[in-house]
């Protein structure tokens, strides 16, 4: 009888442990899918960040230019190495804009901003050297801004008539 019992126990073990259930397989596939999606999200794609930052800078520049024309007040953009912000002219002084779309914008750590102001200012001007103005007539400072990372850079430029252009350049 012992032989019959042991053979019966072996058959029941083999019958019950022949593979994974559908639920177990679905859970494993779900875990792999979540892990893969997290890995894709954490992949550093600095070229996409640089491109979106360049487009955002172009868009904000167009917005401040258009706002100067619509509101009839002189506006300015101040560009620093890692951020840029906007100001308006009141009583001969440039005061920071606090309206929501014109808040101070800081770029990612791996992105740098460089600027050149083509307009010649006299030394008596109390304006910062990195200030580009936008007049209600549509005229702007003639400027150039480079938005760059280690591999690529974008070049934003303006003409005195307010025409803006953005070009990608390989390093």
pLDDT digits (tens, 9 = 90+) for 92-106: 888 888 888 888 988
Per cent of the chain over pLDDT 70 is: 79
Residue 23 sits in the same domain as residue 58: no
Question: Tell me, what's the pLDDT at 72?
Answer: 92
Question: Tell me, what's the pLDDT at 14?
Answer: 55
pTM: 0.67
Residue 15 sits in the same domain as residue 80: no
Question: Tell me, what's the pLDDT at 124?
Answer: 47
Residue 25 sits in the same domain as residue 92: no
- The domain that contains 147 carries what CATH number? 3.55.40.10
Residue 85 sits in the same domain as residue 110: yes
Residue 94 sits in the same domain as residue 149: yes
Domain boundaries, position 91: 46-170
Mean predicted confidence (pLDDT) in 33-58: 81
In 3D space, the residue among 146, 141, 148 whose CA is nearest the CA of residue 163 turns out to be 141
Q: State how many domains the chain has.
A: 2
Question: Tell me, what's the pLDDT at 19?
Answer: 77
Rounded to whole angstroms, how far apart are CA atoms 119 and 114? 16
116-145 pLDDT, tens per residue? 877 555 544 556 667 888 999 988 888 889
Are 97 and 88 in contact by the 8 Å Cβ rule? The answer is yes
Residue 15 sits in the same domain as residue 95: no
């Amino acid at each position: 009888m012992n032989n019959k019992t042991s053979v019966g126990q072996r058959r029941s073990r083999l019958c019950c442990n022949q593979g994974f259930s559908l639920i177990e397989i679905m859970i494993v596939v779900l875990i792999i899918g979540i892990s893969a999606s997290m890995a894709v999200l954490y992949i550093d794609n600095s070229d996409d960040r640089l491109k979106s930052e360049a487009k955002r800078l172009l868009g904000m520049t167009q917005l401040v230019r258009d706002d100067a024309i619509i509101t009839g007040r002189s506006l300015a953009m101040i560009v620093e190495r890692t951020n840029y912000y906007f100001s308006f002219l009141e009583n001969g002084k440039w005061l920071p804009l606090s309206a929501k779309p014109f808040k101070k914008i800081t770029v990612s750590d791996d992105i740098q901003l460089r600027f050149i102001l083509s307009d010649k200012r006299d030394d008596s001007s109390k304006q910062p050297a990195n200030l580009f103005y936008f007049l209600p007539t549509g005229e702007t400072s003639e400027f150039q801004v480079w938005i760059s990372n280690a591999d690529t850079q974008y070049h934003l430029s303006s003409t005195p008539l307010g025409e803006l252009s953005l070009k990608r350049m390989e390093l």
